[in-house]
Structure formats: structure tokens, C-alpha cells
Structure 1
């Protein structure tokens, strides 16, 4: 999956979701890689954290090579729920990385492990609580407004993290490649002196909008085959 995502980005995947009519499921702002430049892509392995590492060790038993551990820690900012030992164990289990709705710790050690980890940031303190475990602990994870299951795929890069239903991934990635190719050509033409306003017949758009206020720029671009805004 990371190979398929190698020449794409989360903005392109997000635009492709819009293009294909798929609801956007984007992680809350602020989720980023511990090590700058790391990227992540793979089937979701969801888990909910309740204060103890045992739930991670349990879920690793059913992990597939290339899975991405999606950790629901409720977006908490008062504790770090993963560190170097969890990352090392995940790496040995064949996982492609970790995405945390919460915080991490052991930043230098995580960088040394090398397994991509995405979170809100770091905090020295680990959990001191032990909450009651839910029946869905190993079957789904909340991540902001979204519920992530094993039927999802995770994508992450410098712009953030998003989730796509596995049965729609192929179509979304195909659409993302088409958008990428269109945008690359548009960028090439801008650098050659052909402005984006000229490429998008923006003057014509203003005339058409004046005649029909319901005529949107997005509708105009779709007529022309442009990719900006999608």
C-alpha cells in the first residue's frame, strides 16, 4: 500500500474522495509524524487504549504484515500512550506504523526505531489510570469524529492523516493519480507563462457567473477538466 501511495499525497487522496463521492474522513488537525518526512499507508489495525500496554500486545497477535496500528486514546493531552517499547514490538510484528489519537513519548528512541509514528506530539508522562475496557477494544477505534475499523486503509504524510474504506481504495487512488497528472500539467504551464487564470478561462467564468449566480467555479472547472479545488 505504501508503494501505491509513494507518488501521491494526502491532499490528492482527499480530493479524490470528493471526486468519487466518498465522505471525507480526515484525522483532526495537528496529527503529524514524529520524524519529519515519514509517510504511512496500510490497512488499519484498530485498538482502544485504557491505560495499559496489554491491549497493544494483544492486538499485535492478530496483526498482518503492513498493518497500521490506529490507537484511540480519546485525543487526550494529559498522557502519552505509546513509546519506544510499543513501537519496537509493533515493528517486530510487521506493522507499517502507528497513528495515535493522542500523544507519544520517548521521541529520540522512536526516531531510532524508525517505524513511522503519527500523533499530536510528545509528553513525558505515561498513563496512571486504568479504565474499564470496552467490548470494541480490538475491533474499532475512534479518531476524532470518525470510527476506524479493519475495513479501512490509513494514509499519512506531512499534511496529516486520513482514512478510506478498503473497498474504495483502488478507485480513490486512480482518481488521485488523474488529479495529480492534471495538476502537474497545470503547474508546468504556469511556470512556462500560461497563467492559471488563462488555463481556467477565468474571465469567461466571471461572465458566466454574472449571467447565472448559481454557476460555481467548481462546475466551471469540471467542464474544462481542471483539478484545482478537487
Structure 2
């Protein structure tokens, strides 16, 4: 499957289905959420290890990453400053990047939301940063407690972010779509009067657990 169709497919699915299809794994720390709750994100990771409180590596990465990439930034959970703001986001948009995920805080939240660019972070902090430490870009990192390798598929929505190994992306998409289709059927059955107990067979399991 070509990359464009893969990305389009993930953008149509909730991260819950994606995470389940990914073996119930790959979900980042729950604090990492979108600035705009309506944001949807999917694309290959371009990884950026950073020294906490220093953002010059981010500026370098903006122009090193291929169009359509998601900058995944390991700021090691640093929350005492905002290494990304309106200027960085505008530069990312000019380079046609798909979004940003940062294990840390950012600033200019209202401006970023107005720009409509998908940015996932731990929260907001107006503090400034240094520009001194460069790193090896696009190397394996940990972001939000999850291993991220260059090219891994990053999928995000209001619920959070899921990382899928690049070699499993097509398989996970197919499984996630099947889960979504099944849930549509179950939702219709519930609206038709069935209970979750009978649909999933939980009524029998509850009796077994209770020894009835």
C-alpha cells in the first residue's frame, strides 16, 4: 500500500482502534495530548532527541525532515519552558510537515490552535529556551515512554498518540479497520436493544466468576 493511502486510512480511525490493532501497545503517556482537541495526525516519524530546555535541534530538524513527516521530539518530559511556539509551527507548515509530537511543554497555545497544525505535547509553559546543543537527528528515541524509530507510523487524535512499527503499519491498519467495522455493528445492535452482556458473552463470564 502506498504511503499516502496508508496515512489516509489511519486518519479515518480512532486511536483506540489503532492501539487495539497494535497489540494494545504503542500508546504514549496520557499527558501527551493535542493543543486542539479536534486535531488528527498520521505520518512517518522523523525523530529529534533534544537537550531539555534547548531547541536548536528542533530548528535543524524542520529543514532536514522530508515533507509529510511528523517531528517526534524527545525533550525528556521537560516542562519548565516552551521550546516550540508559533514561529516553529509556522516554519513546519511552510515545510509541509504533518505535525509535531513533543515529550514536553510548548508555548503560544492559542496561536498554534488558530494555525490548525497538529501539535501534541504535555501542556503549556511560556518559558524561553537555549540554542546551544545539537544532536544526531533521526535516530531511535523514547517519547512519552514509547520507543520510536525513524519512519515508524505516528497516529494521534484527542485521546493521545500511538506509535506503530513501520514494518507493521499496513497490517495494523487492516486490523484497526476491521475493529472499527465490528464496533459499528455492535453499536447498531445496542441501539436495537441488545446488551453488551449478551453481545460479548459477558453474562456467562460473570456467572462463572461469581460461581452462579
Cα offset, 1:210, TM superposition: 7.5
Alignment correspondent of 1:228: none
* Equivalent residue number for residue 24 of structure 1: 25
- Post-superposition shift, 1:38? 0.6
After TM superposition, the structure 1 stretch with the greater mean CA deviation from structure 2, 196-205 or 182-191, is 196-205
Q: Deviations over 1:110-140 (max 9, x none)?
A: 123221111011111022585x555x44423
Q: Distance in 2 between matches of 1:138 and 1:92?
A: 20
Residue 146 of structure 1, CA deviation = 2.3
Aligned residue for 1:96? 98
TM-score normalized with structure 1 length: 0.81
SS in 2 for 1:190: helix
How many angstroms apart in 2 are the aligned matches of 1:115 and 1:200? 39
Structure 2 CA distance for aligned equivalents of residues 58 and 128 of structure 1: 14
- Aligned mates of 1:167, 1:17 — CA distance in 2: 12
Q: Give the corresponding residue for 1:191.
A: 191
Distance 1:158 1:172, change over 3 A: same
SS in 2 for 1:174: helix
Question: Residue in 1 aligned with 2:163?
Answer: 163
Give the structure 2 partner of residue 215 of structure 1. none
> Given that residues 49 and 81 in structure 1 are in contact (C-alpha distance below 8 angstroms), is that contact kept between their aligned partners in structure 2?
no
Distance across 2 between alignment mates of 1:114 and 1:198: 43
Change (3 A) 1:174 1:124: same
Q: Confirm or deny: 8 A CA contact 2:153 2:163 kept in the other structure.
A: yes
The alignment covers a number of residue pairs equal to 205
Q: How big is each residue's C-alpha offset from its partner over 1:146-204, in whole Å with a ceiling of 9 and x where there is no partner?
A: 22121311011011011001110111010011111111111110111011212223343
Give the structure-2-normalised TM-score.
0.87
CA distance in structure 2 between the partners assigned to 1:53 and 1:74 by the alignment? 13
**Cα separation, 1, equivalents of 2:16 and 2:84:** 27
> Whole-Å Cα distance in 2 between the matches of residues 103 and 210 of structure 1?
47
Name stretches of at least 5 consecutive residues in structure 1 with no aligned partner: 212-230
Aligned counterparts of 1:153 and 1:96: Cα–Cα separation in 2:
12
Paired residue secondary structure (2:13): coil
Structure 2 unmatched ranges of 5 or more = 1-5
Structure 1 residue 63 and structure 2 residue 65: aligned? Answer: yes
Deviation at 1:61, TM superposition (A): 2.9
Structure 1 counterpart of 2:3 = none
Contact 2:55 2:131 in 1 (8 A): no
Cα separation, 1, equivalents of 2:157 and 2:143: 17
Measured against aligned partners, the alpha-carbon deviations of 1:31-85 in whole angstroms (never above 9, x if no partner) come to: 1111121111100010022244431232233322211000111101111111111
- Aligned to 2:154, what secondary structure does the other structure show? strand
Answer with 1 or 2: which has the greater Rg.
Answer: 1
Which residue number in structure 2 is paired with residue 46 of structure 1? 47
